[in-house]
Amino acid sequence: MPVTKIRSTWSSGDLIFHESQFPSTTYNVLKVGQSAVKVGDTAQDVDFQYYGTGGISAIIDRGDAAMTLTGIDLLMSGAAFLDFAGATLTPDSGRTYRAISIGYGHAATYEKNITMTAAATQHLDPIAMNLNIIGANPTDASTINGIFQLITHDTTDMSYLRLKNADWNIVIGKDMQDAYCYQGEIDFNAAGIVVGGEAAVMGLVMNAGSNAVTGNLRGLIISMQGAGSYSTVVGLEIRTTCGDVLGHGCSEGIRIAGTPLPVVGIAMGNQTNNNEGPQYAFFFPSTGSPDTGPWSATNATGDAGKIAVKIGANTKYINVYTS
């Protein structure tokens, strides 16, 4: 059977297949050359399709401007990396441009459904990273970041602009067990480990620089909202199970320190508006609890007891009264 739509030719040692009505090289369908194998050309839109047994496929579709892999893993080795430096990432109201998507946007229309089954334990990590640090001790300060993010805003004032390195959200409309927008953990699993600097599950730095900054600067903001079940809502909970064989817990629950010292260690209320203070300054367990904490009614001058405080190495007391 004669081939009437595709013809072949040799050009400078390269084998070229092109449409018969377009002998120009810009309409090449396939070019097999010494340095490369080229599918399509500047004036010839050709979809590339590969199919294998088991339903796997790799399709580059010109009309959709997309490459679709089905049943095929993308494995990278050596110095390979994904680079989106040349990608179009333009802000708009619909969040049109994305470098990486697993579902996208804020609308339910673009959700990626994850189906759980009535079976045993099930886990899912859509994006997973597992690094093991090996080799020799570096000779100078070195850092390994699992994820590095940097946003720079230093060209034009933009009074309506918000910047977030991450925006984590969970929407809950049904019963479940636990929910954490972020869960971090450090485990020391060997004896004799030396921490030369410090170890913290989260390190936060607010650096206002040497110039005056107008506005509210906070190291951490916890905004508790909604009117549901207010009696079970806690803005910040420090739960300690650490301790030694003598029953001593963590040495300090909250430390406020620094140079120069903060003007107010703990502000109970809004200092700017002189309002929004809590109903009670503190809560201590009453008599009868196995861990009554710093409150005690024994030998108290105050008719409601005393609260133990530490000043230097000495224990002192604040008396408490019923009125």
Residue 11 confidence (pLDDT): 77
245 or 311, greater pLDDT: 311
Least confident segment among 8-17, 215-224, 297-306: 8-17
- Cβ 220 vs Cβ 204: under 8 Å: yes
Contact 201, 184 (CB under 8 A): yes
Sheet holding 305-311, edge to edge: 295-296, 305-311, 314-320
Q: Residues of the chain with pLDDT > 90: what percent? A: 35
What number is the average pLDDT over the span 235-247?
75
Q: Which of 27-36, 194-203, 310-319 has the lowest mean pLDDT?
A: 27-36
Q: What pLDDT score was predicted for residue 25?
A: 57
Residue 24 to residue 269: CA distance in whole angstroms: 78
- Beta-carbon-side half-sphere exposure of residue 185 (alpha carbons within 13 Å): 5
Higher-confidence residue: 176 or 298? 176
- pLDDT grade, residue 288 (50/70/90)? low
Task: State residue 1's pLDDT score.
Answer: 45
pLDDT surpassing 70 at residue 23: no
How far apart are the C-alpha atoms of 58 and 48, rounded to whole Å? 8
**Which pLDDT value is given to residue 289?**
61
Distance, CA of 238 to CA of 254 (rounded, Å): 8
What amino acid is encoded at 322 in this protein? T
Residue 149: pLDDT band by 50, 70, 90 thresholds? very high
Where on the phi/psi map is residue 149: left (φ > 0), alpha (ψ -120 to 50), or beta?
beta
Query: Which one is predicted more confidently, 286 or 140?
Result: 140
**Domain range annotation of the chain:** 1-68, 281-323
Of residues 89 and 228, more confidently modeled: 89
Residue 203's pLDDT is what? 93
Q: What is the mean pLDDT of residues 296-305?
A: 82
Kindly calculate the radius of gyration of the chain based on its CA atoms and give it in whole angstroms.
Answer: 32
Of the candidate ranges 45-54, 76-85, 286-295, the one whose mean pLDDT is the lowest: 286-295
pLDDT value of residue 245: 55
> How long a stretch of residues is the chain?
323
Rounded to whole angstroms, how far apart are CA atoms 148 and 129?
13
Query: Which range among 27-36, 176-185, 249-258 shows the weakest confidence by mean pLDDT?
Result: 27-36
Counting other chains too, the contacts that 172-180 makes at CB distance below 8 Å and 24 or more residues apart are none
pLDDT tens for each residue of 190-215: 999 999 999 999 999 999 888 888 98
- What is the secondary structure of 3-49 as a DSSP string? -SSEEEEEETTEEEEEETT--SGGGEEEEE-SS-EEESBTTB---EE
Q: Can you give the pLDDT at residue 318?
A: 92
Distance separating alpha carbons of residues 103 and 123, to the nearest angstrom: 18
Tell me the pLDDT tens digit for each residue of 123-147: 999 999 999 999 999 999 999 999 9
CB of 184 closer than 8 Å to CB of 203? no
Q: Are 258 and 248 in contact (CB under 8 A)?
A: no
